């Protein structure tokens, strides 16, 4: 049986349309899958970046915390060092000093941190001089002094008592003056009245 050409053409057109539609659907589905995959990859990349940044922030915070702890520790160590230095500077050494009167002057006297040349001109005081002196001159009366190392000790007052660890030269011009030294062999000049200069022994 022969199909008329008028019917054959529409049938062919329809078949061709169905095939093209199928191809279109297939291609459309492929493009949709690719877009979805690209979106998923972008999201994963963004999440990874955020995770890395978060880790970096955490590391930075940890480093800052460690630095702060280190600074605090250094500050505490510096404070301890300052306290130790202050304790060292305060108070005369009592090593080898056994005389109770001398120890009393060190404990109860007015402490002065001294150096170079120093003079006491007031009367009626008790002084604990801490430091090394080139010279010490005492011009007051009724004065009691504890000193460490002196180049030249000069006493011009009266009723004066001096305890010195070591002196190179001791000059006494007053009266009723008593000078006790602990170490060394000082040059002694006494031109006053009723004075005593002697070394303390255990």
pLDDT at 176 (0 to 100): 96
pTM of the full predicted structure?
0.56
Got the DSSP string for 159-198?
EEEEEEEEEEEEEE-SEEEEEEEEES--EEEE-SBS-EEE
- Cα separation, 119 vs 27, in Å, equals 110
**Residue 138: Cβ within 10 Å count:** 26
Phi-psi region of 192 (alpha: psi -120 to 50; beta: other; left: phi over 0): beta
Q: Where is pLDDT greater, at 47 or 178? A: 178
pLDDT at 49 (0 to 100): 54
Alpha helices, DSSP H, located in the chain: 5-89, 100-108
Handedness of CA 96, 102, 104, 105 (dihedral sign): negative
The per-residue pLDDT for range 23-38, each reduced to its tens digit, is: 444 444 444 444 445 5
Residue 40 structure tokens: 């998923």
pLDDT at 96 (0 to 100): 83
The answer, yes or no, to whether residue 13 has pLDDT greater than 50, is no
The per-residue pLDDT for range 73-94, each reduced to its tens digit, is: 555 555 554 444 434 345 567 8
The per-residue pLDDT for range 124-150, each reduced to its tens digit, is: 999 999 999 999 999 989 999 999 999
């Amino acid at each position: 049986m022969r199909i008329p050409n008028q019917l054959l053409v529409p049938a062919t057109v329809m078949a061709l349309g169905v095939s093209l539609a199928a191809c279109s659907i297939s291609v459309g589905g492929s493009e949709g899958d690719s877009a979805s995959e690209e979106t998923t990859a972008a999201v994963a990349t963004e999440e990874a970046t955020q995770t890395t940044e978060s880790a970096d922030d955490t590391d930075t915070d940890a480093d800052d915390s460690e630095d702060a702890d280190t600074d605090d520790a250094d500050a505490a160590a510096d404070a301890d060092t300052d306290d130790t230095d202050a304790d060292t500077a305060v108070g005369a050494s009592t090593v080898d000093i056994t005389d109770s009167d001398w120890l009393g002057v060190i404990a109860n006297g007015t402490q002065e941190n001294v150096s170079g040349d120093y003079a006491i001109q007031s009367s009626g005081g008790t002084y604990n001089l801490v430091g090394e002196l080139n010279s010490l001159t005492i011009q007051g009366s009724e004065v009691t002094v504890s000193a460490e190392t002196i180049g030249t000790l000069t006493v011009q007052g009266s009723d004066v008592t001096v305890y010195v660890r070591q002196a190179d030269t001791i000059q006494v011009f007053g009266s009723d003056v008593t000078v006790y030294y602990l170490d060394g062999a000082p040059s002694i000049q006494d031109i006053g009245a009723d004075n005593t200069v002697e070394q303390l022994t255990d």
